[in-house]
Structure 1
């Protein structure tokens, strides 16, 4: 990984936590104390007891989420470790606050089963307006996400599932514009069939992609591949490919887009020669990509991208650019869940956040600290929820955009 690890260790030791809790009011007098603590808190409690939805109006619940993990999917670790998950969750909570002004709190669980995580999340919902699932094994994360979304009336998201899928699709929309191709006409090869890969494939199919070939660690996802998880098998049914699952090159042959969500050096350089004219290559493995972006260009890729945002790489695709905006929009209108349409609209918001005049093969994503990204995504997600009838607090068009801008940058849009 191209960064100085000792600097990261020093930062963590110095800060002793990347998020802290600060008061939202001052206590200067006995009257302040009486109103904010006792007996004043009981006045608010009485109102909430008569209508639990009042908790969104009289407490911080509406702008608070838990980021939940059991530490069963941590890059570089073979064993489940919820203690090791804490600095990762703190980092994501920091991202939520800085990029979305959302009060996010890490919750690391000593839980082995999906049922334990599901029940815990159900029990903590009176405290927060949303939940983000993170760093949970793909063997259980799909089930947990699905069951919580169907049983709770607050948005349940997952940066591991939706973050990279939405950012990737937004970047792909811009890349296709540049090469003059349409999503419905192209062939897409996806290398890696974990949480991000499956979520990306599902999102692309919902957006109108017709030809997707996906590869797991044993081969192409087809009905004859005996080495598939439940989620992979269900996706294989949808993709309906009639090829030898061991013929890896069949997945890439005549592809217009090659997406890597797997491991370092997974792509042989000559794979790109098997692709159609003006191929697009997104090598998004962490901590190092499936192929060096410069080498991919040298071999004929028209547009390349990677996830190495901390380097000088071109077109860095980072999930943290989108997941704060998704949750921001969902919280502001009190969306009851996260839907596919909300994610598609989020991808639109991300794609449209880059200045048209700057759009080029080496510039398909907005800058990492763009002030447009979160407000645009939040507005798009909020309006999608309103249109679908799942927003308990519908707001007028552009209201969420303006509120988000004011939250993040302190100025009103007139």
Structure 2
């Protein structure tokens, strides 16, 4: 059995996995029209049924047309306070947004938003009237998420493909600790990213957001479904790594790595490469390969800098040479997949300098070139010396740290790019206006 810190990590996992007790509060049981429903006939009213009696204000339910016009009057309670109803003006064919608020018996106010369509499919709740687009908070959350994947998937890959078992105890423990941190971070930052995305549409103060209805975002959007699956998946991966760390079950490492790599595909299955009009299985697969290559590259650099160099001096040369060979393949995948995706996302060459998406992509390409040049210097200048048995240069660790810093900047710009809207490449999908709600 490994050191006590692994047991402490297992205890932390048990605490996080245990369901937290919470006081009951009002929740939405059903609605007419249904949440994110398409109806053939325009409804005469919106009715919300709750699990308990609620108190409301006259504007408990607000209904908006796609252009931001409010279409309903005063909300009324029925069925001993469990049903809230508001009459509607005659509705034309199109999409509509419902925003609601109600206070339960515990004094907490719950709120939610959803869309419905009359004769057409409604857009996701993230495109509700009054919703705002991604902000710096979304960019920061995605950057942290990509960094967590680099710790989890990248370090597991570095351990299996470059170092290979058995390893010195101190090195093995450091690698396991960082991988577990990456797994926990992927779960926690994923939750934060989901809540931030939902808050952009709910437009609630933080206190009210704690009791907001997030179910339409979790069950009716690609992003939400990916969040649910990957959160459970990375929790299982964390358990596999912890079990390996505590009981030295080396047969669990490969399943943990493969599962982590597969669950990382949630980023690709819910992003531009899956949702744009010209998205195909090939764009999703290329995006996943692009992501996987980046996480393995950055994870390998972290493994060399934070684990091998300080804890296993005898493995420095061997680890560097093996990683250098792997990095050559990773760079090829990054370049090929990235080029293909850029061509798909930018129909015209002028989109590179005439759209915000293209400008951010240009910035990313510039930083990638710096990183590739740095890596090429290591490959062509340092690698031959090590292959001839010469000692590693004294400043190699600092140089690797510099390369990893540039790589993290690449992740940051990639996070910003993922939240930019690509230029249109096909017939636009119906969306709702993002106009400000009437005050």
Please give the TM-score of this superposition, normalised by the length of structure 1.
0.31
Higher-RCO chain (CA-CA 8 Å, sequence separation at least 6) = 2
TM-score normalised over the length of structure 2: 0.30
Structure of larger gyration radius: 2
